[in-house]
Structure 1
Amino acid sequence: MAFLVSREGDVRLLTELLSGGASEDWQLGLYNAAIVPAETDTAATYTAHEATFGGYARKTLTRSVSATTWNTPVLQAPSGAPAWSPRGQVAHAKYGAAPLSWSVGPAGDTVYGYFIVGATSGALILAEQFTDPRSLHSGDTLSITPVFEVA
């Protein structure tokens, strides 16, 4: 499933795009309830069901372009099988050189998806439900590679 940008995320992204000011960093979080993302969701939809496993903390996604943050945007074929867009090429940026990972401590959890919120505004930018929930147990590792594509 592709991520869904919420209405408040639409407004936040458009404001940053048009204002020309500094962009806020984002925080990547995980949620532990069977929530299907909807346009009308807010950050509270997900923070009320944020993951609780040992070793969990949100990951900061620094809003810059470098080898360790968002890679330089490129044009490429859309990701996914089947591809999410019928276009031959889409704008694509991946976060970092390696996936972001969480190592599960003594207490596990079941994770249904992820969400991204503004680090200072707290606005929900987007969310995605995994195809299948991930049951995490002590010693497991969950890794996510954030990718942003625009057609």
Structure 2
Amino acid sequence: MALLVPREGDVQLLTDLLGGGTLENWLLGLFHANITPSETDTAATYTAQEATFTSYARKTLTRSIGASTWNTPVSQAPSGSPAWSARSQVGHSQYGASPQTWVCGATGDTIYGYFIVGATSGKLICAEAFATPRTLASGDTLSIIPVFENA
């Protein structure tokens, strides 16, 4: 399934882009319900179904450009197989050089996807369901490399 920016996220991203001032950090979370992301979703759609495995916590995505935060945006071929866009080049930025990783503690969970919310606004920025849910048991890891691309 493709990453979806819901209406709430569209408005928040435009506010950040055009409003100036300090950008809020984002929080990367996981959800454990079979949700198909929709344009009308809000943060509550996902926070009500947030992962519950032992040692789970949201990951902070700091809103800056640097080696350990969002990489310098570049123009490159779109990612994915098949690529999500027919354009030969899209704007691209990846969060850091290493994935965001969770290690499951004693109690497991089945994870269906991830979401990103504003750390202070609480607004849903985006969500994506995995093609196949991931069942986590004690000691299992789940890693995500956040990437934003736009065309």
TM-score under structure 1 length normalisation: 0.99
Letter in 2 for 1:114: Y
How do 1:65-76 residues align onto structure 2 when only pairs under 5 Å count? 65-76=65-76
**1:2 shift after superposition:** 1.6
Paired position in structure 1 for 2:60 = 60
Paired position in structure 2 for 1:103 = 103
Mapped partners of 2:37, 2:2: distance in 1: 10
**1:16 shift after superposition:** 1.0
Mapped partners of 1:34, 1:114: distance in 2: 11
Indicate the SS of the match to 2:34: coil
How do 1:1-151 residues align onto structure 2 when only pairs under 5 Å count? 1-151=1-151
Indicate the SS of the match to 2:133: strand
Letter in 2 for 1:77: A
Letter in 2 for 1:146: P
Percent sequence identity over aligned pairs: 71
Mapped partners of 1:62, 1:142: distance in 2: 20
**1:20 shift after superposition:** 1.5
Cα shift readout 1:70-117 (whole Å, capped 9, x = no counterpart):
000111000001000000000000001100100100000000000000
Letter in 2 for 1:79: S
**1:23 shift after superposition:** 0.9
Question: Over the residues paired in the alignment, what is the CA RMSD in angstroms?
Answer: 0.5
Cα shift readout 1:40-79 (whole Å, capped 9, x = no counterpart):
0000000000000011000000000000000001110000
Structure 1 unaligned spans of 5+: none
**1:18 shift after superposition:** 0.8
